[in-house]
Amino acid sequence: MSDRPASFAPLAAAVPHLDLRGIVSGLREARDSWRALRKRGGEGGAREFPSRDALRGIADDLCGALFPMRLGPPDLHVEGEDFYVGHTLDRALTNLLVQVRLELACQARHDEALAAQVDARATGIVRAFAAGLPALRTLLDTDVLAAFEGDPAARSVDEVLLCYPGVLAVIHHRLAHALYELGVPLVARILAEIAHSDTGIDIHPGARIGPGFFIDHGTGVVIGETAVIGQRVRLYQAVTLGARRFELDTDGHLAKGGARHPIVEDDVVIYAGATVLGRITIGRGSSIGGNVWLTRSVPPGSNVTQAGLHHERLEGRDGADI
């Protein structure tokens, strides 16, 4: 540490007997050990990974560009809407390009051929993402309308867009899913986790969700990576669409990938606290009652309740699978 500037006097004076130099040195040793173990650089190197703070700003800008008169600045007027959208998109997409480059550079760390393509790939990804924004806005309109029509307490579409955490989580998911599909899963996951932190709704960016999706109340909802959700589906708070079990590889480690989350067909409603696990199918138009624990497929038009499942157990039908 002798070659580094370091007057830690203000903090050391504020906290008596604090060995700040020793703590800083110990933290550096821990970082160096981690990097050496994983054959990473780091000493004197630039940032390697996308920034959560940068992506939060990008997400805010994209939300404003998608819904300028409701999620944009408070002093915006309609006559200045296009100027604001253009300026905001230019900033958001320029900043996004930096974050995409960082992820692609990480992916190409040990592949010289990929490393040479990082700039071109990053530009292509951001261009494709930008080109998809008008269609994404149209898709989000179906989600906003579903929230308005699905909640008797909602007085306007503006209210659900401004106030409903489920709508905010879905906006972030649509953005994150587009980036996930374009090949930057870490950037996508950070965007999703920003919404998770803000709303309590955890949607993996890999989940495929159809139009007209509504999460009512929302807190505690979990939707796994390989979940597939159809059109006009409604979920309530504390619903889980998760995996039933985790497969292991030949070395005893968790096997990555693989379809392990539910398929929820069109026009399904899943009520509060329900847990749906495994690669099962909830048939079109079904209703899954509150606090139900479900690990088997149900046909279209089913009405699954705790009482019904309890009856099946007593009758000995499929009891081991419920």
Domains observed in the chain? 47-201 (1.10.3130.10), 220-248+255-322 (2.160.10.10)
Residues 166 and 175 sit within 8 Å (Cβ to Cβ): no
pLDDT of residue 47: 77
Q: Whose structure tokens read 């054959």? A: 39
The pLDDT confidence band at residue 48, using thresholds 50, 70 and 90, is: confident
Query: b/e map of 108-125 (b: 16 or more CB within 10 Å)?
Result: beeeeeeeeebeebbeeb
Pick 45 or 224 by higher pLDDT. Answer: 224
Q: Whose structure tokens read 């080109």? A: 131
Average pLDDT over residues 162-174: 97
Average pLDDT over residues 270-289: 98
**Gyration radius (Cα) of the chain, Å:** 24
Residues 145 and 157 sit within 8 Å (Cβ to Cβ): yes
pLDDT of residue 247: 77
Give the separation between CA 180 and CA 74, rounded to whole angstroms.
31
The pLDDT confidence band at residue 43, using thresholds 50, 70 and 90, is: very low
The pLDDT confidence band at residue 41, using thresholds 50, 70 and 90, is: low
Give the separation between CA 279 and CA 276, rounded to whole angstroms.
9
pLDDT, the chain, mean? 90
Q: What pTM value is reported for the model?
A: 0.86
pLDDT at 147 over 50: yes
The pLDDT confidence band at residue 2, using thresholds 50, 70 and 90, is: very low
For residue 292 the two structure tokens come to 């139900």
Contacts of 237 (CB under 8 A, 6+ apart): 216, 217, 218, 219, 220, 221, 272, 273
Tell me the three-class secondary structure of the chain, residue by residue.
CCCCCCCCHHHHHHCCCCCHHHHHHHHHHHHHHHHHHCCCCCCCCCCCCCCHHHHHHHHHHHHHHHCHHHHCCCCCCHHHHHHHHHHHHHHHHHHHHHHHHHHHHHHCCCCHHHHCCHHHHHHHHHHHHHHCHHHHHHHHHHHHHHHHHHCCCCCCHHHHHHHCHHHHHHHHHHHHHHHHHCCCHHHHHHHHHHHHHHHCCEECCCCEECCCCEECCCCCCEECCCCEECCCCEECCCCEEECCCCCECCCCCECCCCCCCCEECCCCEECCCCEEECCCEECCCCEECCCCEECCCECCCCEECHHHHHHHHHHCCCHHHC
Average pLDDT over residues 144-161: 96
